[in-house]
Amino acid sequence: MNKKILRLAIPNILSNLSVPILSSVDTAIVGHLDKVSYLGAIAVGSMIFNFIYWGFGFLRMGTTGLTAQAFGRKTNNEIILVLARSLSVAVAAAILIFALQYFIKEFSFLLVKAEADVEMYARTYFDIRIFAAPATLSLYAFHGWFLGMQNGKYPLILTLLVNILNIGFNFLFIYGYGMNVDGVALGTVCAQYFGLIAAVILYLKKYKSFTASLVIKKILDVEPIKKFFSVNFDIFVRTLSLIFAFSFFTAVSADLGTEILAANTILLQLWMILSYGVDGFAFAAESLVGKYVGANNKEKLVLTVKYSFYWGLGLGLILSVIYFFFDREILSIYTDKIDIINLASAYFLWTLIAPISNSICYIWDGVFIGATATKPMRNSMLLSLLIFFLPVYYLTVDKLGNDALWFAMISFMLARGVLLTIYAPKYIFRLVNKS
């Protein structure tokens, strides 16, 4: 079982870590330019697109679980239909985003009160990056489908390609053409479309034969469509709640001033490195749990969950140790401004706690997604947000200031892990009977 987990997890870890590395490179490039407001603009602009795109994260997560279960049952016609439905939803969602882009932008900046320079550059970032929507959402569908097919290699290839191209374009546009925030946004757009082309090529290389099993009219069959949207609606609500927490964090950081926003943005990058790293094992759990639920194999399901937690928590502990010994060295990668480094150091304790406290809910997310047990995921997220995150912040902010934000985030993650642990016996292990 460990071999199966690592075969899927290692490519996913490499793939996932390249995402925050890209974000870190963006932050480092912009953090070394002459204006701190550039860094704030990237934080605010990225937050808006996180809210948009993470809201459609079900295109990856739901697709993985449904595909993996169809793979476990060995039903080729349903396997290809899951991809077709996901891509159809991705295209429709991109059209909707384009149609509503003005309202999305104005509403976003109505909620986020940033300083004038930060907002100006963030608007420029938004106006350019919005054009990546069709490619970004379609890539979600392809990533989820490949993972459901127990293929961790193709998502790795795609993610590395997109992120390497993105970094290259950023250097080209910023240092070659003298751009700033607009160069970062344009680099993202170009890289995403190259990634989509690569995804189609990879599909045709290995899975072209599945296309023969596709019956177009069955894409809209009522029962599979109901399950597709039921699963994905729960994930949508769950993801919006998560995005709200991070967006609230960024919005409050912006309200505390550009320096706090910059420091919190850098520290949040270290949280992202943790989440994307541990998510490598969560993604492996998605693929294998879905497969064994589809095959009705309880013994292997239990082993998958057990060993996924061993590996995920182990990686979290390693990251905590690295952060403890190399805190200022890591911070100096992101910015050369001593006042920002000192400010981030004052709140670094929360980053040391995060790898252990957060890993539990990350692994459970993978398990529940693979089992398509999405209602308890949705409920645990809403409860953690409404009963822990927001109350903890508002009850402590007067005494703790910026520390209250980090305390609320840690409480939020811990609550998610505890609630999913409570839900697991009923919603995961009772799904299958064979042992």
DSSP for 351-415, written as a single string: HHHHHHHHHHHHHHHHHHHHTT-HHHHHHHHHHIIIIIIHHHHHHHHHHHTHHHHHHHHHHHHHH
> For the residues 193-219, what does the mean pLDDT come to?
87
H/E stretch holding 383:
helix 374-383
Name which of 24-33, 389-398, 417-426 the model is least confident about: 24-33
Residue 297 CA to residue 290 CA, distance in Å, equals: 10
Residue 305 CA to residue 283 CA, distance in Å, equals: 12
> For the residues 119-137, what does the mean pLDDT come to?
90
Report percent pLDDT > 90 for the chain: 33
pLDDT tens digits, one per residue of 51-110: 778 778 778 888 888 898 888 888 888 889 989 989 998 999 999 999 999 998 888 888
Quote the tokens at residue 232: 């994905």
pLDDT of residue 200: 95
CB within 8 Å of 341: residues ≥ 6 apart: 328, 331, 332, 335
pLDDT tens digits, one per residue of 4-58: 777 777 776 776 666 556 666 766 777 677 677 777 787 788 778 877 787 787 7
pTM: 0.76
Whether 45 contacts 122, CB under 8 Å: yes
Tally Cβ neighbours within 10 Å of residue 3. 7
Name which of 126-130, 266-270, 394-398 the model is least confident about: 266-270
Residue 276 CA to residue 139 CA, distance in Å, equals: 17
The residue written with tokens 């309880």 in the block is 298
> For the residues 118-140, what does the mean pLDDT come to?
90
Q: Is 33 helix (H, G, I), strand (E, B) or coil?
A: coil
CA contacts within 13 A on the Cβ side of 219: 13
- Residue type present at position 124: T
Fill in the DSSP letter of residue 113: -
Model confidence band, residue 435 (pLDDT cutoffs 50, 70, 90)? very low
Whether 312 contacts 175, CB under 8 Å: no
Residue closest to 74 by CA, chosen among 150, 12, 140, 4: 150
Residue 92 CA to residue 81 CA, distance in Å, equals: 16
pLDDT of residue 232: 78
